[in-house]
C-alpha cells in the first residue's frame, strides 16, 4: 500500500475514535473520554512514525510470515527444552545440577524462627506484658 493510503486510513480511524471518545466523555466523564482519545491517537501516531508500514508489509508478505513461524518454532523448542531439563533435574537424573541443588539447600540459611508471641520472657519479665500476651493469644491474635 502507498503511504498516502495508509495515512488516510489511519486518519479516518483516528477521527472515528475521537468522535466515539467525545461521546464517552459526555456520558461517562473526563477520565473515560481522555482514555478513549489517547487510544484513538495511536493509529495516527503509528502511521506517522512508520510502524504501520511494517505491519502492512508483514500482513502481505509470505516471506515475513515464514520468518514469524520460524521464530515461533524457536520459542517452542526453547520452552520444551526447559521443561525437559527441569523434569530431569527433579527426577534425580540431572547429574551435577541435581546433586548441587541438594547441597545448596542444606548449606543455606538456617530455618527462620517462628514469628508470634511465645509467652513471657524467662526470669520474670513484665507481668503486664505477660497478661497482654495472654489476652492476645486467647483471641487468636499472635
Per-residue pLDDT tens, the chain, 142 aa: give them: 788 998 999 999 999 999 999 999 999 988 999 999 999 999 999 899 888 888 888 788 888 888 888 888 999 998 998 888 888 777 665 555 545 555 444 455 555 555 555 554 555 678 898 899 999 999 988 7
Region at 18 (left for phi over 0; alpha for psi -120 to 50; beta for the rest)? alpha
Please check whether residue 52 is in contact with residue 9, taking contact to mean a CB–CB distance below 8 angstroms.
no
Amino acid at each position: 500500500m502507498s503511504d498516502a493510503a495508509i495515512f488516510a486510513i489511519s486518519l479516518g480511524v483516528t477521527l472515528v475514535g475521537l468522535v466515539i471518545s467525545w461521546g464517552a466523555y459526555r456520558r461517562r466523564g473526563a477520565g473515560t473520554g481522555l482514555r478513549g482519545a489517547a487510544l484513538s491517537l495511536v493509529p495516527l501516531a503509528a502511521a506517522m512514525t512508520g510502524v504501520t508500514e511494517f505491519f502492512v508489509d508483514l500482513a502481505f508478505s509470505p516471506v515475513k510470515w515464514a520468518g514469524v513461524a520460524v521464530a515461533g518454532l524457536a520459542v517452542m523448542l526453547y520452552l520444551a527444552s526447559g521443561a525437559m531439563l527441569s523434569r530431569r533435574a527433579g527426577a534425580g537424573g540431572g547429574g551435577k545440577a541435581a546433586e548441587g541443588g541438594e547441597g545448596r539447600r542444606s548449606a543455606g540459611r538456617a530455618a527462620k524462627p517462628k514469628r508470634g508471641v511465645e509467652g513471657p520472657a524467662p526470669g520474670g519479665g513484665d507481668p503486664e506484658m505477660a497478661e497482654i500476651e495472654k489476652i492476645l493469644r486467647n483471641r487468636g491474635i499472635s
